[in-house]
Amino acid sequence: MEELESKINSCTNLDELELIRVEIFGKKGVLSKEFAKLKDIPAKEKKDFAKSLNDKKVALNEVFEKHKNKLEKIALEAKLESEKIDVSLYGYEANKGALHPVKDMMDRIIDYFVALNFSVESGPLVENDFNNFEALNLPKNHPAREMQDTFFFGDGRMLRTHTSPVQIRTMLDSKPPIRMIAPGAVFRRDYDLTHTPMFHQIEGLVVGEKGEVSFANLKAILTDFLHHMFGDVDVRFRPSFFPFTEPSAEVDISCMFCKGKGCKVCSHTGWLEVLGSGVVDPNVFKAVGYEDVSGYAFGLGIERFAMLLHGVPDLRSLFDGDIRLLEQFR
Ligand code: DAH
């Protein structure tokens, strides 16, 4: 009996204990063998023998259960220890993404005009001749069409060469007054340091009653806009030509790289051209059926703004998808 007890207590893990359980309590175990002796025991001793054997069994069982509990507790503790997680340890920082510099610049420009109550309009990338040229006072065979290096589809349609057709779409769809911008992608057959076949523009258009919207309004809003974007720069309106505006002006800012002294970026002129603008040509209003109205319009290249504000020397690098360039804009 004592031998069996110490056998149980000497087990150091549950697997060992299970072997001992079979050895003592199993069908062919020590106890079964003892009980088997019952049949050979004289009748009058049978009762005492059976009782003492049962007591023995109960006692052994108690020892067994006690030791089993102990080993189970040890096993559980070992498991908890091995699976422990230190929640106070530092983790890995997730990689942060960022907006593409062109998208970011587009958002910044949109925010400026939305704050001034301009609506944001859009149009399709594939345009028809009327919206992209004709209604913008660029009749067929007009030499200014050549300036646009258009991708034609051969069925009269084309990839839009500017966002100006959204002016036409908006005027055809609604009545004056209008106060809109149209951001989006445009396409031209051009590829060098400062040109890519796809780039982005924002078009602006304000239309009111005749005499209500003037060149002075255009000048005021664009001057404020350029100060908002570029800070303390000089702004200059230079007479120019666009078929859809008369008079027309290109807008320059003083070069922020050389402070107007002249450098490579501004081709030693001290000025950077950043916008096209003008008073809407009466022929444009005629094309959309507007009468007794006045308005101004402007257009700008978003990549040009991004290049100047971030000091990007090669426009093409913005579209190479090189992660090393993009990471600099986080
Ligand atoms: N559509 C012109 C371009 O792509 C930009 C532009 C110039 C738009 C003058 C205008 C404007 O609305 O008035 O070069």
**Per residue in 290-328, pLDDT tens?**
999 999 999 999 999 999 999 988 888 999 888 888 888
Structural domain that includes position 18: 2-82
Residues 181 and 319 grouped into a single domain: yes
Tell me, using a 6 A CB cutoff, whether residue 242 lines ligand 1. yes
Domain contains 279: yes
Residues 244 and 312 grouped into a single domain: yes
Outline where DSSP puts E strands in the chain: 119-120, 126-127, 158-159, 178-187, 198-209, 235-242, 245-254, 271-280, 293-301
Instruction: Give the model's pLDDT for residue 91.
Output: 83
What's the 115 CA to ligand 1 centre distance in angstroms?
A: 22
Tell me, using a 6 A CB cutoff, whether residue 285 lines ligand 1. no
Residues 262 and 312 grouped into a single domain: yes
Q: What is the pTM of this model?
A: 0.73
Residues 18 and 68 grouped into a single domain: yes
Tell me, using a 6 A CB cutoff, whether residue 245 lines ligand 1. yes
Please, which residues have CB within 8 angstroms of residue 63's CB and are 6 or more apart in sequence?
A: 5, 8, 9
Residue 158 Rama label (left phi>0; alpha psi -120 to 50; beta):
beta
Buried b (16+ CB within 10 A) or exposed e, 292-306: ebbbbbbbbbbbbbb
Write the DSSP symbol of residue 38: G
Domain contains 19: yes
Tell me, using a 6 A CB cutoff, whether residue 162 lines ligand 1. yes
Residues 147 and 295 grouped into a single domain: yes
What's the 276 CA to ligand 1 centre distance in angstroms?
A: 5
Residues 45 and 143 grouped into a single domain: no
Instruction: Give the model's pLDDT for residue 321.
Output: 86
Instruction: Give the model's pLDDT for residue 330.
Output: 80
Instruction: Give the model's pLDDT for residue 323.
Output: 87
Residues 76 and 182 grouped into a single domain: no
Average pLDDT over residues 128-156: 90
Residues 121 and 71 grouped into a single domain: no
Total number of domains in the chain = 2
- Closest C-alpha to 169, from 214, 126, 199, 210: 126
Position 146 pLDDT exceeds 80: no
Instruction: Give the model's pLDDT for residue 141.
Output: 86
Percentage of the chain surpassing pLDDT 90? 77
Domain contains 92: no
* Ligand 1: nearest atom to the Cα of 278: 13
**Secondary structure class of 216 (helix, strand, coil):** helix
Residues 145 and 22 grouped into a single domain: no
Tell me, using a 6 A CB cutoff, whether residue 277 lines ligand 1. yes
Domain contains 93: no
Please, which residues have CB within 8 angstroms of residue 95's CB and are 6 or more apart in sequence?
A: none
CATH of the domain at 229: 3.30.930.10
